Amino acid sequence: MMSSPTPTPAPSGPPDRNRPLRRLTARGRHEAHRVASSLELFFDLCFVVAVAQAGAQLVHAVAEGHAGEGIVNYAMVFFAVWWAWMNFTWFASAYDNDDVLYRVVTLVQIAGALVLAAGVSQAFEDHDFLAVWLGYAIMRIAMSVQWLRAARSSRPPERIMALRYAGGVLICQVGWLGLLFAPVSGRPWLFLVMALLEMCVPAYAERKHMSAWHPHHIAERYGLFTIIVLGETVAAATVAVKSGIDEHHALARLLPIAAGGLLIVFAAWWIYFVTPVHGRLRSRRQAFLWGYGHYLVFAAAAAIGAGLEVAVEQAVGKAHISTLAASAAVTLPTALYLLTVWALHSRHFKVGITEQLVLPSAALLVICCTFLGDWAVLVAGIVLALAVATGVTLTARRVLPARGTAEPAA
């Protein structure tokens, strides 16, 4: 009688983990220890180059007295950057298999972001959106390739969802061609139509099947990008300090801007990260509202940095605008940031009317600071610092008694 062969021990981990090309299948929605990868962090850092370019052009437009036109162009360019970033983020949360082809296609998307960044100045100054469109097209076509890979490796209804994504992305890209041929006055309206169509693609694609994105991973990815964008604001405050050293005659006006800018960005970080938000991302509706609403969070955070640079240029006499307009360039995006963060997730963790009113009240006071002249930015920063302190105090008063009553009497 022949003896049975000794069984070969099963390899640990996925059997095709070390293969250069692997099937692009959905990851587990409740996968443990799901964190951002080094490729995702690299992706964010490269994308923030385009954010910085949009912010720099916004500074130039506002400082030259063309705030309305500058804000419209900023909104359009920032949407392209944000939407491409967001689509990749949610896709990667569900399908990142980290094989060679996935990495290459992601690097192509990064190249597209850099092409878009190179064309931002032409879009603002000459109304020439060719480079912006080309960069966006590179990013979106690469995204369609990823969805087609996912469709090839999945079964219905997941395959149908992936094909809807791929088709919707390509169809919308054809529509964006209109920016190259439409008259300048009609481009904002075309942008609104196309932006709405773009945002309808995920809702249509996931109507019957939701992609396997990871709530904790998504919350971390959004938080990391928020930190990077706020870092641009810190850089703007640093410019204020440097300008104060170089322009001694304006030092008294620049130091309050620098101090107020730092207080604003510190408070903005605190307010965003005071509570973990991944627990709110359970349903499709909550996820869509939260994800889409971050367009205003990111755009406002980046605009705060641009506003600080405008305030600095006005203080040293390089901007052709009033002190009121320069102050508004900081206070208005700050107020928008506060209200949007409160609406998206902070309000869900507040108890009682007093806690709920802290951030909306702070936003209103920040707007009022616009009329304080040279002290507007500093006072706005102090208002935010007091709002943070008030929130901490109210939370402590609510939590500490509850802990005390939970302990047995001595």
Computed over every residue of the chain, the mean pLDDT equals 87
Check residue 400 and give its pLDDT: 63
Residues 337-388 pLDDT 10s = 999 999 998 777 777 888 889 999 999 999 999 999 989 999 999 999 999 9
Q: What mean pLDDT comes out for the span 253-275?
A: 90
Check residue 231 and give its pLDDT: 87
- DSSP structural state of residue 29: T
Check residue 405 and give its pLDDT: 47
State both tokens at 36: 């951002």
Percentage of the chain exceeding pLDDT 90 = 58
Residue 92, helix vs strand vs coil: helix
Burial label for 286, CB within 10 Å (0-12, 13-18, 19+), is middle
Residues 30-74 pLDDT 10s = 888 888 999 999 999 999 899 989 998 999 999 888 999 999 999
Helix 251-273 and helix 323-344: axis angle, to 10°?
A: 10
**Of 316, 320, 299, 301, which is closest to residue 257 (Cα–Cα)?**
316
- DSSP structural state of residue 57: H
**Of 210, 175, 225, 165, which is closest to residue 195 (Cα–Cα)?**
175
Percentage of the chain exceeding pLDDT 70 = 91
- DSSP structural state of residue 280: G
User: In the block, which residue shows the tokens 């991973």?
Assistant: 217
Q: What mean pLDDT comes out for the span 259-279?
A: 88
The answer to whether residues 47 and 116 touch, using CB atoms and an 8 Å cutoff, is: no
Domains of the chain (ranges, CATH numbers):
38-212 (no CATH), 216-401 (1.20.1410)
State both tokens at 143: 């995204």
Q: How far apart are CA 377 and CA 359, in angstroms?
A: 17
Check residue 246 and give its pLDDT: 75
Residue bearing the bigger pLDDT, 233 or 190: 190
Burial label for 409, CB within 10 Å (0-12, 13-18, 19+), is exposed
158-167, 175-184, 314-323: which is most confident? 158-167
Q: How far apart are CA 378 and CA 363, in angstroms?
A: 15
- CA distances for 356 relative to 347, 353, 391, angstroms: 6, 5, 9
- DSSP structural state of residue 12: S
Check residue 94 and give its pLDDT: 92
* pLDDT range class, residue 108, cuts 50, 70, 90: very high
For the chain, the helix, strand and coil percentages under 3-state DSSP, each to the nearest 5: 80, 0, 20
Other CB atoms within 10 Å distance of the CB of residue 319: 23
Check residue 361 and give its pLDDT: 95
- DSSP structural state of residue 212: -
Other CB atoms within 10 Å distance of the CB of residue 16: 12
